Amino acid sequence: MFMIRLAGIGKSFGDKEVLRDINLTVDTGKIFAVLGPSGSGKSTLLRCINFLERPTCGAVESGGRTIDAKTATSRDIIFLRNQTAMVFQQFNLFQNLTVTGNVMLGLTDVKRMDRREARAVSLQILDRVGLSDKANSYPSQLSGGQQQRVGIARALAMKPDVLLLDEPTSALDPELIEDVLQCIIKVAEDVNAMIIVTHELGFAKILADTIVFIDNGVIVEQTDTTQFFQNPSTERARDFLKNSLRRYLNPSETLLQQAI
């Protein structure tokens, strides 16, 4: 059973074609990592999945419903966004709300949950991401890594079918990255499926079942994670790994030792 399916997704900004004929099926229980050079369309792809960027063409299928890019209504888009939840690069927390208030907001405003119940759910999830002691703090009182974990908690609170993570460590200082990566590894078992755009190749190697390698707006290679890192089938992917592994793989190898 699949959680989400993209069919013929394309995206253009004016005359610039950013994505072209993206076809992707994410099955239940699977974690997909989207890799590729800067400017290849990775983040745009992720944002097209829940129509934060409305695709120019194609369709997204989730929850038994197919949403066509050209005919989607606001109700269709709300339905799609209820199937997914996004963790952003820049946290996007409300500075005037406490940590608990940030996690509660979607539960009370979108799911119309009673505030007492929403608070109880939020506190459980904050404990899950290791922030129960920060429940009454404000974002300005937290480190960048802690703020990103609040963002993860906020997304998990919505109980999405698919969790989308857009470069979740790109805004962090190097010493804060590992805590967030460990948090993502921990909560991966709490969601039905996950798609993560990341430049942390060592992390992708540990976490993902499938690698989707994008370059110039097209999927160049989609394969099993082990296969991708040991013997990619395309010359472009081999060049990417050759240029990137030395920089990104070694710092994350400690995660592998801790995860197994």
- Point out the residues of the chain with pLDDT beneath 70: 245-260
Contact 172, 203 (CB under 8 A): no
Angstrom distance (rounded) from CA 197 to CA 71: 27
Are 34 and 6 contacting, i.e. CB atoms less than 8 angstroms apart?
no
Residue with tokens 């799911």: 111
Q: What's the domain range around 224?
A: 2-259
pLDDT confidence of residue 58: 98
Tokens of 77: 């888009």
* Half-sphere exposure (Cβ direction) of 185: Cα atoms closer than 13 Å: 19
Side chain identity at residue 243, one-letter code: N
User: How many CB atoms sit inside 10 A of residue 112's CB?
Assistant: 8
Burial readout 206-236 (b: 16 or more C-beta within 10 A, e: otherwise): bbbbbbbbbbebbbbbbbebeebbeebeeee
- Phi then psi dihedrals of residue 233, to 5 deg: -90, -15
Distance of alpha carbon 95 from alpha carbon 216, whole angstroms: 36
Percent of the chain whose predicted confidence (pLDDT) is above 70: 94
User: Is 0.85 topped by the overall pTM?
Assistant: yes
- The pLDDT of residue 18 is 97
| Radius of gyration of the chain measured on its C-alpha atoms | 18
The burial of 86, by beta-carbon neighbours within 10 Å (0-12 exposed, 13-18 middle, 19 or more buried), is given as buried
Give the C-alpha separation, 139 to 32, whole Å: 29
pLDDT for 176 equals: 85
Task: Report the CATH number that the domain containing residue 9 is assigned in CATH.
Answer: 3.40.50.300
What is the structure's pLDDT at 173? Answer: 84
Tens of pLDDT, residue by residue over 186-227, are: 999 889 999 999 988 988 999 999 999 999 999 999 999 999
Positive or negative CA dihedral for 116, 153, 27, 47? positive
Q: Are 131 and 150 in contact (CB under 8 A)?
A: yes
The number of domains in the chain is 1
- CA dihedral (198, 165, 29, 32) positive or negative: negative
Query: Closest Cα to residue 99, out of 144, 145, 134, 146?
Result: 134
**Calpha distance 224→112 (Å, rounded):** 40
pLDDT at 248: 53
Number of H helices, E strands in the chain: 10, 10
